[in-house]
Amino acid sequence: MSIEEIRRHKADVLLECQEAEDRATNLYKQLRHLSGTLDHLARLLSLGEDALPSRALNPNELQDETFKVALNYDTTVRLASDLFDAMKALHQAQAKKKELGLR
């Protein structure tokens, strides 16, 4: 391999690593947002342990579109699967980077 080819290969590996990291970070943020939305919904639905709730549940609060999206099981599983694949790709890219002695 020529010097230019080696440099190009190293640049490709660095770019691959950066893109994999960006994808994993983006998916992680999406899942954290989804988790926060589900947590908020759970708090709205939690009326306490008293025989009679201390506050009335407002059904209008449950109509938020973000709750509908967050409750889509297929979307959640797809995001989790995508994050798993992204983390796998990131680890592979980092291994390539390490093999080349790159930081």
Q: In this predicted model, what pLDDT tens digit does every residue of 48-74 receive, in sequence order?
A: 666 566 667 778 888 888 898 889 999
Identify the weakest region by mean pLDDT among 27-36, 44-53, 74-83.
Answer: 44-53
Please provide residue 54's backbone torsions phi and psi, each rounded to the nearest 5 degrees: -75, -15
Residue pair 78/84 in contact by the 8 Å Cβ criterion: no
The sign one gets for the Cα dihedral 73, 78, 83, 84 is positive
Mean pLDDT of the chain: 90
pLDDT of res. 57: 75
Number of Cβ within a 10 Å radius of residue 95: 12
pLDDT of res. 8: 95
The full set of domain ranges for the chain reads 3-99
pLDDT of res. 94: 96
Please compute, for residue 101, the number of CA atoms within 13 A of its CA located in the half-sphere on the CB side.
Answer: 2
In the chain, pLDDT over 70 holds for what percent of residues?
92
The Cα 28–Cα 33 span in angstroms is 9
pTM: 0.80
For residue 61, which of 41, 47, 36 has the smallest C-alpha distance? Answer: 41
pLDDT of res. 44: 83
